[in-house]
Amino acid sequence: MTGNRTFTMIKPDAVENGHIGAILEKITAAGFKIVAMKYTQLSKRDAEAFYAVHNERPFFGELVAFMTRGPIVSAILEKDNAVDDFRALIGATNPAEAAEGTIRKLFATSIGENAVHGSDSDENAAIEGAFHFAGREVY
């Protein structure tokens, strides 16, 4: 059933700004079931590994510094068409381009500090979920 799951993080900016509750409310109101969730902080090694696909990008150092500067909420979410529906719910990577009512439009401040992560494919959803959660932590 991995095709019906996606992985998300509420990033340090949104946690610092007190938006955990409001973001979880938007996620559950949109019909996603939380099947795994934790409040945690990434180490530099964790963030470099999680975002390894971006390690040649000019913003990689900034991205790792941002993602490690405070706690995050990570979660696996279940719903029909989870990956695409969640990307629609969060909006464009750059909040300036995100549609009205999307999580990034409401809570993100910049393209780097964009409040939430959402997996971009079923394959990456499975990889990212397994990076953060052991099988026994998924319900």
Question: How far is residue 115's CA from residue 120's CA, in Å, rounded to a whole number?
Answer: 16
- Establish whether 104 is an annotated binding residue: yes
Both tokens of 34, joined, read 């939380």
> Active site includes 54?
no
- Cβ 53 to ligand CMP shortest distance, Å: 8
Stretch that binds ligand CMP, among 20-28, 98-106, 110-118, 121-129 (CB under 6 A): 110-118
Site for ligand CMP in 37-96 (CB under 6 A): 54, 59, 62-63, 93
Q: How many angstroms from the chain centroid is the CA of residue 115?
A: 8
Question: How far is residue 69's CA from residue 40's CA, in Å, rounded to a whole number?
Answer: 11
Q: Which residues bind ligand CMP (CB under 6 A)?
A: 54, 59, 62-63, 93, 111-112, 114, 117
